[in-house]
Structure 1
Amino acid sequence: MIYVGISACLLGQKVRYDGGHKASSFCQQDLGKHVEYLPLCPEVGIGMSVPRPTIRLVGDSDAPQAVVQKTGENVTEQLAAFARVRESQLVKLSGYILCAKSPSCGMERVRVYDEESNANRKEGMGIFAAELRRMFPAMPMEEDGRLNDPLLRENFVLRLYVYHDWKSLPKPVSKRDLYEFHARHKLLLLAHDQPTYRRLGRELGEVSALSDEFATRYIETLMGALSAPASRRDHTNVLQHIQGYFSDQLNDVQRQELTDLILRYRHGEEPLAAPLTLMNSYLRQYPDAYLQTQSYFQPYPNDLKLRYGL
């Protein structure tokens, strides 16, 4: 089972400061079929009521303080400590979906106010979210609003499944398990970050004894490399790379059909699903041991239909 943390309001729980919620249909109806959620509201978790006075971030954007507007109470440490005391639950998670703009859960562009005025800048990160990032730097995190973007949605779910694969490895990670993990995600990495693809491959080839420090650095580097959506150009590079594996099996008509479909994808005339569907058909006809291990072909359940928007 894949465990995902989520701001409780995104599942329809009426825990927001105004007594409302921000239910997300994607989280509830689509992704919810495939994961088990751990819903949390840090503000309720530290004992605040529903409804409640609003909190806002004040001071330095890099280290803001969370202050209750009505009373002036500083709840920064309480919100950060809420993550730490839940560590035994949070460590099981493969990803986290956060409520945008929240002074506790916002992942980016949260308003930070001057201490003596209403002047503000969208430069902050919620206190609970920042503590999550510090505790689990490799864990995929995303905001509900950004999940409305097809590229960001697909990228988050892709990272969620890769990180779940990592967390499923026996610990401590053996050299063999690490090599096999890296091997099955090679084409995904190639599509997202070619320099890191080359560097990690070189480092894995040179390592003699696998340490916990190396494994930690590896997964943080990999997840960082996957954190930006792959471009059409980068996907095209991978598709053409895969096409080479079929060069001896396909006839001239089939090769041209696949070439044309890849180029139509490159020019924005077809979704990524189109050339991949044809390639999967060829892979069934002409099995290849290496390609059949590659997560690139199906990094997450097909019924999410995420690659139709790419």
Structure 2
Amino acid sequence: MRPFIPSLQSLLAFESAARHLSFTRAAQELSVTQTAISHQIKALEDRLEIKLFTRKRNTLALTPAATEYLRSVSEAISMLAIASDNTRKKVVNTVLVIACLPAYAVHCLIPRLPDFQRRHPDITVHLSTSANFDEFDNNTHDVSIRYGSGRWSGMRADLLHGETFFPVCSPQLLESLGSEGSEAERLARFVRIRTYFYSLYQDDWPAWLDAAGHSHVRFAGESVFQLQLTSQAAAVEGMGLAIGRTPLIDRDLARGTLVAPFGTRVASSSSYFLASTAAKSKLRRVELFREWALANLSLPKADGASA
């Protein structure tokens, strides 16, 4: 069966108009008329049988369906542009597409990726990050670093890390609040940093407080951040006490930008896995990345950070 793919001209028109929220600016960028942009968008909407744009008081806005569609279209156009540029320059290489959670990408994967590139200069890495767990099921990538049970239908999953979680803060904040009093009294001096993530019912604070015997502690205040990545950054900057999760905080603990002022550590029921479909797991580029990842992401590092 022939794949259902709209014309490249209509996709380019949509991507530009969606990015600028303006048919006029899209026309200028693509060196066509505004009427041509309108025709391409209308043709795409007819082909998809959905509405992509709405107008309110001369303001252009994306529909919810268009917002989701834009992410995939932008990534596809970017990959086409890179592949075409490499072909034009007669650059022969292999592309490895990796999907990863943002916090893991920033704190664990990216710091070590240069080593993979040095070992395999013929492989070009495309790293896609998303905090939406459902996006890992679309399998448009070659391999992913996923968080969960490791039991995903039709997938090969290799364990990278277990996980524990516990409170962390900056050493400067800890020093400013002092060490006098009981553990509960010291906890109560902190502003608590909480993590909001739409796929979770609650963050890790209730489980840790129960395990430590401090479920009734009243904190000095509370701040809420979306995603572990931003909560951890807020803790590093001294905004309060956050729940840190290994391996995401290992580098900060090793460097001393974060400290763990309380002893209780709770083992998580979820872990980090290297995952790919059964078919893609046999690709040479995936095999090379798996071999490297299991050797370099899942073992303690010389800098003292455990992975």
Considering fraction of residues, name the structure with more strand.
2
Structure with bigger gyration radius: 2
TM range (shorter): under 0.3
Higher relative contact order (CA 8 A, sep 6+): 2
Structure holding more helix per residue: 1
* TM-score, normalised via structure 2 length: 0.25
TM-score normalised over the length of structure 1: 0.25
